[in-house]
Structure formats: structure tokens, C-alpha cells
Amino acid sequence: MPLSNMPYLLGANRAVGAFNFIQLEVAEAVVMAAERANTGVILQLSQNAVAYHGGLAPAVSAALRLAESATVPVVVHLDHATDEALIDEALALGVPSVMYDGAHLADDENVARTADVVQRAHAAGVWVEAELGEVGGKGAHVPGVRTNVDDARDFVRATGVDALAVAVGSEHAMRERTAMLDEQLISALAREAAVPLVLHGSSGVSDAGIDGAIRAGMRKINIGTHLNIVLTGVVRRQLAQDASMVDPRLYLAPAREAVATEVHRLLDVISKGSK
Ligand code: G3H
Ligand code: ZN
């Protein structure tokens, strides 16, 4: 199937799971899970993960090839990019969706830089997610921070972004799924911002919280840390069971399978909330 795009995946007002990968095995697991669940999915690579790999092209090219060979629609997305040169590189490599993260900037500067990125990305047919204020952990996705509804509406109008990351109670890199989301705020933001809303830090949100957020209007559900917990847990157990193990396939294959099983389960939770 050809590489998919965000308007197609989010069509009919559906919510979509967006899973971060660092290792190729996790990208493979996400695509396997989407095929098993027979649903579309977003495979995303953050600027931090790009830095870990020492550049965008190798990892994102692998993701693009995986997407093209999938039997379900897969979108590849550059996540949390603060570096505009990296976004331009993503556009040149054919990445169909990017997040420009100007949340660390002063509000006026964030609007100006985001609007500029939107113009370049739209000229290339690429979808842009952006963040207003900060959503904590990597800035403002912290429990006490909330996106203001009027600010969100004005930001979307001023920048022309296609989707908005909002602060509604989640936080990046949580290891427990205990975050409590403000569903009333999600509803108000969905109504006023009038673009798909993105939930960052969804690893810290329970199944019921994800379901409630989607029913309130959340559309892109970003999950990263939770997959790292699953992957590393299996690797740790495998190595503890057999100290003589050296072939990485022996511990990564079961870890990849465990990630695929969990992503499949989460995709089912996300689809249920979309109905
Ligand atoms: O942009 C990526 C997500 O917000 C992932 O956050 O690692 O806390 O699930 P998480
Ligand atoms: Zn995030």
C-alpha cells in the first residue's frame, strides 16, 4: 500500500494511534500490530531519536519503506522538531507529516516561526502539527498546565496549522498510567480550535482515560515511553534467564512481539473510542 497521509487517516473524524520508535524492531512491531488490528497507524520519530541515530535519513527511510510495504495505511511523522532545517530535510525525504515544536519560544515568535513552517510544508503537501505554550516533560505537558481555549483558537487561525498539541493533564515520559485528563477542556478545545487535537504523553494515560479523551474530541494519541517499558522489560527478562545469550535476535524477537501485542491492544482501545 502506498505511504498514507494524515487527512486520509483522520478522515471521518476518527482517532489514530501515533507510536514513537527508536529501534527498527519497534517500528516493525507497530506496523505488524496495525496489520493485525486491520487499522491505520502513525509511525513517528522524534528529533531526539534522530539525534540518537546521528541523522534523519537512515531511520526515517526505513520507516517510509515499512509504511509502503504495509497492508494498512501508515503515516510517517517527524515528532517534536524544534530544528527547522530538520523539517526541511524531512520534506525533501518525502515525510508526509511533521510536528514543529515552537513551545519553548515566546508566543509571538512561536506564531511567526510556525506560520513560516506551515507555508513551506503546505507547499510540499505536508501536514503540520504544532504546540502552543508547552505540554510538559519536554516543556509544558505537566499536570498543572492547561491550554487556554481562546489562545488555541487564535494560534490555529494565525498559523494555519493542521493539528494542535494541547496541554490537558498529561505529561511526557510517565511510567505509571495515572494522569487525569480534563475532558471538559478537551471538548472546548476541539470545538474552538477546529483542527484535530493531539494528546502528548499518552503513556501516562489509562485505557479509560484514552477512551474518554477520544470521546471528548482528541484525535491523535501519541505513545512512546510505554513501548520502551514493554520492550526493555522483555529484554531484561530474556537476558536474566540466560546469561550466555549474545545474539540480539534471541532477546529482541520476543521483545518485538510483546510490543506488537501491546500496540494491537492499544489500537483496539483507540478504535473503540472512535466509534
Ligand atoms: O510526542 C510523543 C509523545 O508525546 C509520547 O509521550 O513517551 O510520554 O508516551 P510518552
Ligand atoms: Zn510529545
Task: Give the residue among 28, 37, 6, 42 at the shortest CA–CA distance from 223.
Answer: 42
| Whether pLDDT at 233 is above 70 | yes
In tens, the pLDDT along 81-111 reads 999 999 999 999 999 999 999 988 998 999 9
Whether residue 138 has pLDDT greater than 60: no
DSSP β-ladder status, 218-223 and 197-199: parallel
What pLDDT is attached to residue 142?
A: 54
* Residues 35-92: tens digit of each pLDDT: 999 999 999 999 999 999 999 999 999 999 999 999 999 999 999 999 999 999 999 9
Q: What band does 236 get if pLDDT is binned at 50, 70 and 90?
A: very high
- pLDDT for 152 equals 96
Q: Which CATH number fits domain 6-272: 3.40.50.10490, 1.20.1260.10, 3.20.20.70, 3.10.20.70?
A: 3.20.20.70
Q: Which three cell numbers stand for residue 211?
A: 477512551
- Residue 58: how many CB atoms within 10 A of its CB? 11
> Is 79 labeled as catalytic in the residue annotation?
yes
Cα dihedral 232/64/125/33 (nearest 10): -50
Q: State whether the beta carbon of 162 lies less than 6 angstroms from ligand 1.
A: no
Q: Is 203's C-beta closer than 6 angstroms to any atom of ligand 1?
A: yes
Q: Is the pTM value of this prediction over 0.95?
A: yes
pLDDT at residue 135 in the model: 58
pLDDT of 235 above 90: yes
Looking at residue 132, its pLDDT comes to: 84
What pLDDT does residue 137 have? 45
CA distance 182 to 187: 9
Q: Which three cell numbers stand for residue 212?
A: 474518554
Is the pLDDT at 136 greater than 80? The verdict is: no
User: Which is it for strands 127-131 and 197-199: parallel, antiparallel or unpaired?
Assistant: unpaired
Report d(CA 234, CA 221) in Å as an integer. Answer: 24
Mean pLDDT, residues 132-150: 69
Name the residue of 78, 200, 227 whose CB sits within 8 Å of the most ligand 1 atoms, as the mutation to test its pocket: 200
pLDDT computed for residue 39 by the predictor? 96
Average pLDDT over residues 185-205: 97
119 CA → ligand 2 middle, Å: 23
**Top mutation candidate among 16, 19, 20, 99 for ligand 1, by most atoms within 8 Å of CB:** 20
Is the Cβ–Cβ distance between 63 and 21 less than 8 Å?
yes
In angstroms, the first-to-last Cα distance of the chain is 25
Average pLDDT estimate for 195-215: 98
Beta bridge partners of 49: none
Confidence at residue 134, expressed as pLDDT on a 0 to 100 scale? 66
* pLDDT 10s digits, 142-158: 557 899 999 999 999 99
